[in-house]
Amino acid sequence: MAVLLLPYDLRERVMLGDAGSNALGALLGFKSVDRIRGWGRWAAVAGVVALNIAGERRSLGELVERTPGLSQVDRMGRI
């Protein structure tokens, strides 16, 4: 579904929204549990927890805009 909406999302014609992004995140989480084992799984969990804590304390959108590499990746494919 997200692959089908990607061209429209990048052209800012539709938006995935919170419900869609939560569902996509859940799907990616379930799939990663199947593929990642051992310490890699714990590292992935720690990374997700760290991003969640950072997002609660500061705006991740502002961080993306201030970081040159992240802002370029964020703008890829957009008008």
pLDDT tens digits along 52-74: 898 899 888 888 899 999 888 88
* Helices 2-10 and 17-35, packing angle to 10 deg: 130
Q: How far apart are CA 3 and CA 14, in angstroms?
A: 13
pLDDT band at 34 (very low <50, low <70, confident <90, very high): confident
Element (DSSP H or E) covering residue 40: helix 39-57
In terms of average pLDDT, the best of 14-18, 39-43, 73-77 is: 39-43
Domain positions in the chain are 1-35, 37-79
- Tell me how far apart the alpha carbons of residues 35 and 42 are, in angstroms, rounded to a whole number: 13
Per the model's pLDDT, the better-predicted residue between 33 and 53 turns out to be: 53
Mean pLDDT of the chain: 83
